[in-house]
Amino acid sequence: MAKLLPFRGIRPTQALAEKVAAPPYDVLNSAEAREMAAGNPYTFLHVNKPEIDLDPAIDVHDDRVYQKGADNLQAFIADGVIKQDEAPQYYVYHQIMGKHEQTGLVAVATVEAYEQNLIKKHEFTRPEKEDDRVKHMDALNAQVGPVFLTYQAESHIDELIKTVTDTVPEYDFTLSDGIRHIFWIVSDKATQNKIEQAFIGVPSLYVADGHHRSAAATRIKNMRQQANPNHDGSEAYNNFLVVVFPHNQMKILDYNRVVTDLHGLSEEAFLEMVEQKFQISHQDQSFKPSALHEFGMYMDGQWYSLKAKEGVVDENDPVARLDVAVLQDNILAPLLGIDDPRVNKRIDFVGGIRGMEGLEKRVDSGECKVAFSCYPTSIEHLMAIADAGEVMPPKSTWFEPKLRSGLVIHSLD
C-alpha cells in the first residue's frame, strides 16, 4: 500500500488559473512553446519551458535555462499570480475531452513507496531526460509537473471522490483545444482522513506517465537527504507530486515512431525484408491501425499497412506481444539498427494526438525516412506487465487528455 498525503499546494488565483494552466513540458518543442506563450505573461510555460524567455541559441539544458525557470517561478509568487495554501489539502482534478471524462486525486506520494515498488513502473528511463528533470526540480526547489498514476478502480473510492465533485469547484475553464478542466480543493479534515484511509487499502499504484519525473524525484530526495545532517523523513523532498486516476477512466492513444534513415538499405530491399514477417498492402490514404498486430508505414509519400504473419508474435509473453515490441523486435532492431530506442538518436516518438498528419510531416520534410503508426497499448496490458516486474519498450503509451501544469505545485521546502 502506498500512502497518498495532502500537501500545501502553490496554485493560481481563480482569476488567473485559465491563463496559467499550460501543457506538460514534454509535449511541446521550444518553438511551439514560444508561439503558445506569445502575449500571455502568466502561462506556466515560462516556468516549465523557460528557454522561451532566453536567446534561442542557448541550449535547452544550459544552466541558465534552469535558473530562468526558478526566477520566473519566484516572480509568479512575488506578483501574486500563484500563492501557497495555508494548510495541507488534497485536490480533485476533472477533465472532459469530447465524450471522455476522467477524475483524479491530486496528492503527494512518498518516494519510499516508489523505491519499494508499491508504485509500479513499466518503463526504463532515458538518462538525459532524467538528468534534465533533476536539474529542473533542483533549481526550482519544487515539483511543477505531476506524475500521472493509476490504480485498479474501486467503487467506494469513486463514491468518495464524487462527494467532492458534487460541490462548487475552485476552477472551471475550457481551453482553446476544447478540453475542460475542473478543479476542487479538499480542505475538510474528515474527508481528507477518509481519502487517506481509502487509498491505504489500494494494493498498488502504477506509473502511467511520468517515469522520468518519478526517477528524478527519487534522486532529489537522496541528494537532499545526504546533504541534510538533520534529515528525519518529514521533509517535503521525501514526497512527489501525483494525480491518481482509476484505471477504467484512462484513455490511451497510439505512440508512433519515426526513423531518420533506412540503415543503408534501399526502399526496395527494405520492403522485401519487411515482407518476410508482415503482409504488406499499399494504401490510398493514411493508415491508422484498428486491431492488434497491425501497423501503418509511411515512406516516400506512400502509406502501407503491415499485418504480422502467423507465428511472428509470441502471445504468451506479456511484453513481446505488445505491438510496440513487435515493431521493435522485427523491424526497428534487425532491419533499421535501432537496438536501444532509449538512447539511439535515429529514432523519435510521436504521440497519437498529432494524428497521422504528424507522421507525414516528419517524413515529407526530409527529416525522417520512414514512419510507423501503432495500435494503442491497453491499460490492462500495462498493469499486467508492471505486476510481473517486466518493462515495456520506451514510449509505449500516450495518455490523453494531458494534465495541465501550473494548477498546483509541490514545494520541496
The size of the chain, in residues, is 413
Q: Is the peptide bond before 401 cis (omega within 30 degrees of 0)?
A: yes
In a domain, 392, yes or no: no
Residues 34 and 124 placed together within one structural domain of the fold: yes
Domain count, the chain: 2
- What is the pLDDT, as a whole number, of residue 394? 80
Outline where DSSP puts E strands in 274-383: 278-283, 294-299, 302-308, 347-351, 370-373
What pLDDT does residue 79 have?
98
Encoded amino acid at 118, one letter: L
Nearest-5° angle of CA 103, CA 106, CA 109? Answer: 130
Does residue 388 lie in a domain region? no
Are 244 and 260 in the same domain? Answer: no
- pLDDT on residue 11: 98
The set of cell numbers assigned to 396 is 509505449
pLDDT at 1: 67
Q: State residue 345's pLDDT score.
A: 94
Cα separation, 165 vs 297, whole angstroms: 44
Collect the ranges in the chain with pLDDT lower than 50. Answer: none
Taking only the tens place, the pLDDT of each residue in 68-77 is 999 999 999 9
- Measure the CA–CA gap between 174 and 17, rounded to whole angstroms: 11
Are 228 and 259 in a shared domain?
A: no
Q: Are residues 259 and 248 in the same domain?
A: no
What is the pLDDT, as a whole number, of residue 21? 98
Condensed to tens digits (0 to 9), the pLDDT of residues 226-246 reads: 999 999 999 999 999 999 999
Predicted TM-score (pTM) of the model is 0.88
Residues 243, 289, single domain; the answer is: no
Does residue 295 fall inside a structural domain? yes
If asked whether residues 86 and 210 sit together in one domain, one would say: yes
Looking at the fold, whether 145 and 173 belong to one and the same domain comes out as yes
